[in-house]
Amino acid sequence: MIALADCNNFYVSCERVFQPSLEDRPVIVLSNNDGCAVARSNEAKALGIPMGAPYHQIKRLCGRNGVSVFSSNYELYGDMSRRVVSVLSRFVPEMEIYSIDESFLNLGGFSDPLGLSGRIRETVRKWTGIPISVGLGKTKTLAKLANRLAKKEHAGCLQVEAGNRSTLGSVPIEDVWGVGRRLSVRLRRLGFQDAWAFAQAPSSAIRAIGGVTLERTQRELTGISCLAMEEVPQPRKNTCCSRSFGKPVTGRGELEEAVANYAVRATRKVRAEGSLACGLQVFLSTNRFRKDQPQYSNSRTISLDEPTDDPIRIVKNAKALLNSIYRKGYSYKKAGVLLLDLVSGGSRQGLLFEEHGDGRRRDFVNALDEVAARYGQSGAFLAAQGVRRSWSMKRQSRTARYTTCWDELPVAS
């Protein structure tokens, strides 16, 4: 038996933990640069605010209905996610962290998995303040489907059996995990309108539409497990760090600062997984929605002569790539750094004369990461990353980082 524990309206729930007055009120959380609604409370959904709606289009609606609007507080959300995972891990021997707000739990061997799911749900709410829903099934896809229904129609916990025609028949085909909108259009044309019809379809027809991947999804709906639990996430093949700027950027210096910051962040992701980058790409672009402004976008890629996880070396190469594609006279909206062809750190093979650093360089970089991890990103950084960073992402309505910043701890009065 597999269970999917999914936090309800996660970003909104994190805000409500430290502001209980927001309970039963419409709340939305915005994306980078306060652009779009990426999390909505049930009350906000009832007002007709769609997922991904640009804030400038719904601003009047929010004002008329007293909707509380917040900027994304990624530091808080990341820490609250770790707390939820810590509680979940107390109940099961095997768990897969699927996303920031979802985890698969292996409940095989438990005599009453549905009862256990109820206790898990109660404990997570009591210890962290975050409400979760738990869906159960013999496979991951059934658990995902059960979780979706548990949020809408049941008391937060639901178990779905593969042969339950009434339950599977109530789920539109586009809501099945792994199908999506494009494939659902083709499936509907062939008469597969819901999850039950899809599960009963000939496997040859399903494979012809979506290949072996879609056939696995179908088999999962019939109770045949095709997706194994992954306790240890697979290392990435590439990793990217990119953000839209909080304001239009025209100067080369500000772009260099931004690219240096993205390069350091991407490198830290790679180092955390014990990987090395064999290639590097830098890209930048103007705001394509501003038709009244001249448009420009470009990218440049290089292969590194020696796989590396050295942020100093990567920043140096990233700035060189940026300078090769930078053009004066444009207002840039976005830039990013992509580390390519990642390989295991155990396969490190240096050049004969180690042109790119020695043991002292590695010790320095390790110390830099340790200080940044303990005291925050502003505790230790490269000079190339800048100090003021006026280009930084706009988050005008961000709440305090209650659990990760000493200066913003909640105070009881």
Contact partners, residue 366, CB within 8 Å, separation at least 6: none
Mean predicted lDDT score pLDDT of the chain: 88
For the record, the structure tokens of 80 come out as 């609250």
DSSP code at position 282: E
**Mean pLDDT on 158-166:** 90
| pLDDT tens column, 238-249 | 999 988 888 888
The Cα–Cα gap between 295 and 225 comes to 49
Beta strands at 275-286 and 2-7: parallel, antiparallel or unpaired: unpaired
Which tokens in the block code for residue 147?
A: 């979780």
Using DSSP, state whether 352 is helix, strand or coil: coil
**pTM confidence score:** 0.80
More confident residue, 408 or 327: 327
List pLDDT tens digits, range 4-43: 999 999 999 999 999 999 999 999 999 888 889 999 999 9
CB under 8 Å to 261, separation ≥6 — which residues? 385, 386, 389
Q: Where are the alpha helices (DSSP H) in 273-395?
A: 311-325, 359-375
Q: How far is CA 289 from CA 62, 293, 295, 359, in A?
A: 24, 9, 10, 48
pLDDT score recorded for residue 154: 60
| Rounded-to-integer distance, Cα 53 and Cα 139, Å | 33
- Segment 136-149 shows an average pLDDT of 94
pLDDT score recorded for residue 231: 62
Share above pLDDT 90 across residues of the chain, in percent, rounded to a whole number: 55
pLDDT tens figures, 193-222: 999 999 998 988 889 888 999 999 999 999
Specify whether the CB–CB gap between 221 and 142 falls below 8 A: yes
Q: What is the dihedral of CA 168, 172, 174, 178, to 10 degrees?
A: -10
How does pLDDT run across 32-61, given as a tens digit for each residue?
888 899 999 999 999 999 999 999 999 999
Question: Which whole-number Å values give the CA distances from 349 to 186, 237, 238, 343, 352, in the listed order?
Answer: 48, 18, 19, 11, 9
CA 2 to each of CA 122, 131, 143, 170, 331: distance values in angstroms, whole numbers, following the listed order: 19, 19, 6, 21, 50
Q: What is the DSSP string of 209-265?
A: HHHHHHHHHHHHHTT---S---SSPPPPS-EEEEEEEEEEE--HHHHHHHHHHHHHH
- HEC states along 377-395? HHHCCCHHHCCCCCCCCCC
27 touches 14 (CB < 8 A): no
pLDDT-based confidence at residue 354 (cuts at 50, 70, 90): low
Q: What is the pLDDT of residue 11?
A: 95
CB 247 within 8 A of CB 334: no
Q: Is the Cβ–Cβ distance between 24 and 408 less than 8 Å?
A: no
